[in-house]
């Protein structure tokens, strides 16, 4: 799944490369996916988009917005997969889920993994959408240490689920998934199952700082190295803690990195630096 750094990278590239292009045609590709949701029939996407210009892009947490004309947008939300822009004359992939052609001969394809949605909607409809802009994106002006501490207190499952549950819940912090979570917790020296009431003020500050430092580095490097950007290039951020780390020595203390199944996903951690609760 893409997370905030990947969404920010792709959005920035859309702003730079798609703004001013005119949509020519939209179609579903040869691939189908049960958990790829459109909010209109493909024919309606095509009729609405044809002749319209892309007018900019932005991101919010894990979401990417591609603006269409003065009032509409394409919303790429909560997805795993790739959005690739193909230059004029370059062959398109044989398999894809969605495709947009532009009048200058370029095309953009979307290949989805896991689940996600691509909605064509009026910008005014966003507040009523079930995945509306909830939570606070890390690195935003609103994501202060004081507000972060308040969100920790407001988390309704703070005595039942660990820190992992809080961080990957977009309702509170919008933009962190299981990918960056590992490095964030490792740098903060916090076990994913630690309950929020057990965190000291110093540990809360360390967690906040780790979120900022990790995601700032990832945005600067264009996202993770196992994701691709709009130009089909891998990101430059190499994770400290991933499936490739298991069995390797901790870069800080040398203890063997372990894999832990927790809250429906894998966690990778150092049992010495991130002591179990």
Predicted confidence (pLDDT) per residue in 84-124, tens digit: 999 998 889 999 999 999 999 999 999 988 888 999 999 99
Residue 133: pLDDT above 90?
no
Residue 131: pLDDT above 80?
no
Residue 130: pLDDT above 80?
no
Element (H, E) at 109: strand 107-113
Q: How confident is the model at residue 264 (pLDDT cuts 50, 70, 90)?
A: confident
Burial label for 131, CB within 10 Å (0-12, 13-18, 19+), is: middle
Per-residue pLDDT reduced to its tens digit, 169-217: 888 999 999 999 999 999 999 999 999 999 999 999 999 999 999 999 9
Which pLDDT score, from 0 to 100, does residue 4 have? 96
Which pLDDT score, from 0 to 100, does residue 26 have? 97
Q: How confident is the model at residue 265 (pLDDT cuts 50, 70, 90)?
A: confident
Which pLDDT score, from 0 to 100, does residue 31 have? 86
Residue 148 backbone phi and psi in degrees, to 5: -60, -45
Contact 5/236 with Cβ under 8 angstroms? no
Mean pLDDT of the chain: 94
Q: How confident is the model at residue 17 (pLDDT cuts 50, 70, 90)?
A: very high
The fold for domain 145-269 equals Helicase, Ruva Protein; domain 3 (1.10.8)
CA–CA separation, 276 and 255 (whole Å): 14
Q: Among the listed ranges 93-97, 128-132, 254-258, which one has the minimum average pLDDT value?
A: 128-132
Model confidence, pTM: 0.94
- Write down the domain spans for the chain: 4-128, 145-269
Task: Tell whether domain 4-128 is in CATH 3.20.190.10.
Answer: yes
What average pLDDT does the segment 51-70 reach?
Answer: 96
CA–CA separation, 19 and 60 (whole Å): 18
State the number of CA atoms in the 13 A half-sphere of 244 facing the CB.
6
What average pLDDT does the segment 49-68 reach?
Answer: 96
Cα 143 to chain center, whole Å? Answer: 17
């Amino acid at each position: 799944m893409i997370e905030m750094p990947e969404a920010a990278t792709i959005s920035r590239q859309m702003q730079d490369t798609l703004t001013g292009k005119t949509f020519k045609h939209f179609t579903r590709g040869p691939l189908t996916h049960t958990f790829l949701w459109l909010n209109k029939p493909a024919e309606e996407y095509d009729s609405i988009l044809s002749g319209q210009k892309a007018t900019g892009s932005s991101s919010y947490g894990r979401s990417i917005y591609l603006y269409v004309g003065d009032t509409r947008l394409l919303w790429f939300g909560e997805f795993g997969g790739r959005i690739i822009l193909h230059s004029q004359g370059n062959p398109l992939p044989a398999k894809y889920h969605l495709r947009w052609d532009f009048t200058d001969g370029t095309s953009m394809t979307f290949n989805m993994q896991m689940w996600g949605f691509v909605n064509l909607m009026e910008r005014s409809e966003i507040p009523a959408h079930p995945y509306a802009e909830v939570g606070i994106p890390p690195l935003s002006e609103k994501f202060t240490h004081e507000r972060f501490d308040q969100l920790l207190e407001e988390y309704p499952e703070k005595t039942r689920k660990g820190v992992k549950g809080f961080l990957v819940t977009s309702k509170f912090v919008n933009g962190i998934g299981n990918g960056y979570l590992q490095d964030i917790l490792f740098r903060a020296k916090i076990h994913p199952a630690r309950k929020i009431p057990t965190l000291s003020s110093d540990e809360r500050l360390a967690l906040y700082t780790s979120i900022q430092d990790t995601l700032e580095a990832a945005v600067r490097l264009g996202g993770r190295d196992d994701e691709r950007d709009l130009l089909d290039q891998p990101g430059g951020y190499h994770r400290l803690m991933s499936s490739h780390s298991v069995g390797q020595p901790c870069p800080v203390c040398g203890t063997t990195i372990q894999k832990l199944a927790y809250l429906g996903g894998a966690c990778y951690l150092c049992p010495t630096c991130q002591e179990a609760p």
